[in-house]
């Protein structure tokens, strides 16, 4: 099947991107300078990422909030106008069907879901619709992520109004003449923004942003190493249908009212784990000796399997290998020495608190 | 005599000893190299054995011996500065030298023109 192309496909090619298939899309994994350089530029200044492969879905109507509450543990009524929440689609066993962002903007619930789960999620939403909700899959929109400590200055130079605008808020901005909807959020652990705009305007706006001397183009490779350091889960790795939010360290995604009501999918399992803990929990892992450990490596202690690596590679900020994995809860304290079995040989790893690189969100 | 494998190793035979490395194309495709495991001198290997590992930011890649024989020397100095492993330094970034048992094994490999058309 032919891969889908984002509105920035020609832009990527013109900027020397190496394109790879990802979740049915033809996406830039890196540009000429490579993943490490793009990663470090994002941490030091600002990286610009095309994330138009993610699906933007709008829900309107009086029943929209209630419909989302049938699928997620989020108190949608507590999402004030102009605010964004991280949420999870859950199954009845308490497993995670996908993670997503929910914003309330102009009284529309605006969702962003993972590219690889978009068909699943849209199907799930469609099956939950009733006459009180209208769903609009906004494939006419593009999405850019501008991430890093210089990103507010870059946005301001393009005309963005950042007055009183903090982490997990959403507002309209006119950037380089294009009407955009901007959230202060991202997937790098840095301060940053995700910018939604009509697809037809995306090449011009991306070019205007890329022309800023503080901005480096960054691909999916750097996006993955940045989120790894930030300890942010990736569905299919740290999240799937068999992993609960408690095991994945996502207690914050369970709204208080919903926990007290116990009325979300999988609530019985999840609330038991909330109170009693889980067998295994997500931890950071620092491989020793320079050799990375990768997804699927077994974690062992004294010859017994005690967990598994779910994401692993190299952390450019740490200038060392890093990984995420699930380990027996009793072994998750930072500083625990384990062995990762990589390609038949053992690599020592030490558990580490998440995030591996501190978040630098700008909160109010 | 310089030959290439389909897995992007190069092998340069001089007398009965060959030098083995990976092609500029392979180095470029790997991207930032963060860890290299070399074979041990003195080991005897068969053609096609996984003898070394390149780890990039994204992935681990096995390096296969293009020929059978005894590893006589490995390029430990390349480990001092992995950032020096760049496409324009594919020759300097050789991995190991191998005393070849049967030079006819190289007959099945590609010459430079054939390799270049494969990656084109």
Core vs surface per residue B47-80: b (16+ CB within 10 A) or e: beeebbbbbbbbebbebbbbbbbebeebbeebee
Which residue in chain B is spatially nearest to A31 when comparing CA positions? B31
What is the spatial distance between Cα A336 and Cα B25, in angstroms, rounded to a whole number? Answer: 40
A45/A162 same-domain check: yes
A115/A78 same-domain check: yes
A343/A256 same-domain check: no
In total, the C-beta contacts within 8 angstroms joining chain A to chain B are 40
pLDDT band at A344 (very low <50, low <70, confident <90, very high): confident
Q: What is the pLDDT of residues A248-307, one digit of tens each?
A: 999 999 999 999 999 999 999 999 999 999 999 999 999 999 999 999 999 999 999 999
In chain A, how many domains are there?
2
Give burial (CB, 10 Å; 0-12/13-18/19+) of A128: middle
Region of B27 please: left (phi>0), alpha (psi -120 to 50) or beta: alpha
Instruction: Residue A326: give its domain's CATH number.
Output: 2.40.30.110
Q: Does A316 touch chain B (CB under 8 A)?
A: yes
A323/A203 same-domain check: no
ipTM value for the complex: 0.87
User: What pLDDT score does B69 carry?
Assistant: 97
A262/A324 same-domain check: no
- Domain limit, last residue, from A247, A278, A309: A278
A206/A118 same-domain check: yes
Instruction: Residue A153: give its domain's CATH number.
Output: 3.30.1360.120
| Mean pLDDT across B44-56 | 96
Q: Does A348 touch chain B (CB under 8 A)?
A: no
Interface mutation vs chain B, best among A32, A228, A292, A295, most B CBs within 10 Å: A292
Range of the domain at A226: 1-278
Interface mutation vs chain A, best among B29, B32, B82, most A CBs within 10 Å: B32
Give whole-number Cα distances, A324 to A244, A312, A346, in Å: 16, 6, 17
User: What pLDDT score does B16 carry?
Assistant: 95
Report the candidate in A45, A3, A56 with the shortest Cα–Cα distance to residue A28. A3
CB-nearest partner of B32 from A29, A34, A291: A34
A312/A169 same-domain check: no
Query: Whole-number mean pLDDT of chain A?
Result: 97
pLDDT above 80 (res A358)? yes
Interface mutation vs chain A, best among B36, B49, B58, B87, most A CBs within 10 Å: B58
A55/A154 same-domain check: yes
Report the candidate in B23, B34, B22 with the shortest Cα–Cα distance to residue B83. B34
> Residue A64's CB: how many other CB atoms inside 10 A?
21
- Domain limit, last residue, from A278, A310, A327: A278
pLDDT band at A342 (very low <50, low <70, confident <90, very high): confident
Q: Which two tokens stand for residue B101?
A: 């048992």
A83/A207 same-domain check: yes
Q: Which residues, in sequence order, are CB contacts of A211 under 8 Å at separation 6+?
A: none
Give φ, ψ of B26 to 5 degrees.
-65, -40
DSSP-assigned beta bridge partners for residue B96: B20, B74
A211/A301 same-domain check: no
What is the spatial distance between Cα A216 and Cα B70, in angstroms, rounded to a whole number? Answer: 47
A165/A111 same-domain check: yes
pLDDT above 90 (res A56)? yes
Beta carbons of A165 and A171 less than 8 angstroms apart: yes
Q: What is the pLDDT of residues B17-46, one digit of tens each?
A: 999 999 999 999 999 999 999 999 999 999
CB-nearest partner of B31 from A34, A224, A291: A34
**Domains (ranges, CATH) in chain B?**
2-103 (2.40.50.100)
Q: What is the pLDDT of residues A176-195, one digit of tens each?
A: 999 999 999 999 999 999 99
User: What pLDDT score does A247 carry?
Assistant: 98
What is the spatial distance between Cα A139 and Cα A199, in angstroms, rounded to a whole number? Answer: 8
List of chain B residues whose C-beta atoms are within 8 Å of the C-beta of residue A224: 58
What is the spatial distance between Cα A63 and Cα A306, in angstroms, rounded to a whole number? Answer: 45
Beta carbons of A26 and A5 less than 8 angstroms apart: yes
Beta carbons of A48 and A206 less than 8 angstroms apart: yes
Q: Answer yes or no: do A221 and B60 touch at CB < 8 A.
A: no
- Domain limit, last residue, from A254, A278, A302: A278
Q: How far apart are the first and last CA of chain B?
A: 22
Q: Answer yes or no: do B58 and A35 touch at CB < 8 A.
A: yes
Beta carbons of A309 and A295 less than 8 angstroms apart: yes
Give burial (CB, 10 Å; 0-12/13-18/19+) of B110: middle
CB-nearest partner of B57 from A221, A290, A291: A221
pLDDT above 80 (res A343)? no
A356/A213 same-domain check: no
User: What pLDDT score does B104 carry?
Assistant: 93
């Amino acid at each position: 099947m032919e891969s889908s192309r984002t509105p920035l496909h020609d832009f990527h090619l013109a900027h020397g991107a190496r394109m790879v298939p990802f979740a049915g899309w033809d996406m830039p994994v890196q540009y000429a300078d490579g993943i490490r350089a793009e990663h470090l530029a994002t941490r030091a200044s600002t990286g610009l990422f095309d994330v138009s492969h993610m699906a933007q879905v709008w829900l309107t109507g009086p029943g929209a909030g209630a419909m989302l509450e049938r699928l997620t543990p989020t108190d949608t009524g507590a999402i004030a106008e102009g605010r964004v929440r991280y949420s999870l689609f859950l199954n009845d066993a308490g497993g995670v069907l996908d993670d997503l962002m929910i914003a309330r903007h102009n009284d529309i619930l605006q969702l962003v879901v993972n590219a690889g789960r978009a068909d699943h999620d849209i199907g799930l939403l469609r099956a939950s619709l009733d006459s009180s909700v209208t769903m609009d899959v906004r494939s006419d929109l593009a999405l850019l992520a501008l991430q890093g400590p210089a990103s507010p200055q870059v946005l301001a130079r393009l005309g963005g109004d950042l007055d009183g605008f903090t982490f997990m808020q959403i507002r309209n901005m006119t950037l380089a003449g294009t009407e955009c909807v901007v959230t202060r959020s991202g997937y790098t652990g840095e301060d940053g923004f995700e910018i939604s705009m009509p697809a037809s305007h995306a090449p011009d706006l991306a070019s205007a942003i890329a022309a800023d001397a503080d901005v480096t183009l960054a691909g999916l490779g750097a996006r993955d190493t940045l989120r790894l350091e930030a300890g942010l889960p990736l569905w299919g790795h740290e999240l799937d249908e068999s992993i609960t939010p408690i095991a994945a360290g996502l207690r914050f995604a369970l709204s208080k009212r919903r926990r007290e009501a116990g009325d979300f999918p999988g609530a019985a399992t999840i609330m038991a784990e909330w109170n009693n803990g889980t067998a295994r929990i997500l931890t950071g892992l620092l491989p020793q000796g320079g050799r990375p450990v990768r997804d699927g490596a077994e974690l062992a202690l004294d010859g017994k399997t005690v967990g598994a690596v779910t994401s692993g590679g190299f952390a450019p900020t740490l200038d060392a290998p890093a990984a995420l994995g699930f380990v027996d809860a009793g072994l998750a304290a930072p500083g625990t020495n384990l062995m990762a079995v990589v390609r038949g040989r053992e690599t020592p790893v030490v558990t580490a608190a998440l995030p591996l690189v501190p978040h630098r969100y700008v909160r109010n | 005599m310089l030959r290439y494998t389909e897995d992007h190793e190069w092998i340069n035979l001089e007398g009965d000893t060959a030098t083995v490395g990976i092609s500029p194309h392979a180095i470029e495709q790997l991207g930032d190299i963060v860890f290299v495991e070399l074979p041990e001198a003195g080991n005897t290997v068969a053609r096609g054995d996984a003898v070394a590992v390149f780890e990039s930011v994204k992935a681990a890649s096995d390096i296969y011996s293009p020929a059978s024989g005894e590893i006589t020397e490995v390029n430990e100095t390349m480990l001092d500065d992995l950032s020096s492993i760049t496409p324009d330094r594919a020759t300097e970034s050789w991995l190991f030298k191998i005393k070849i048992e049967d030079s006819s094994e190289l007959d099945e490999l590609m010459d430079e023109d054939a390799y270049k058309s494969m990656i084109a």
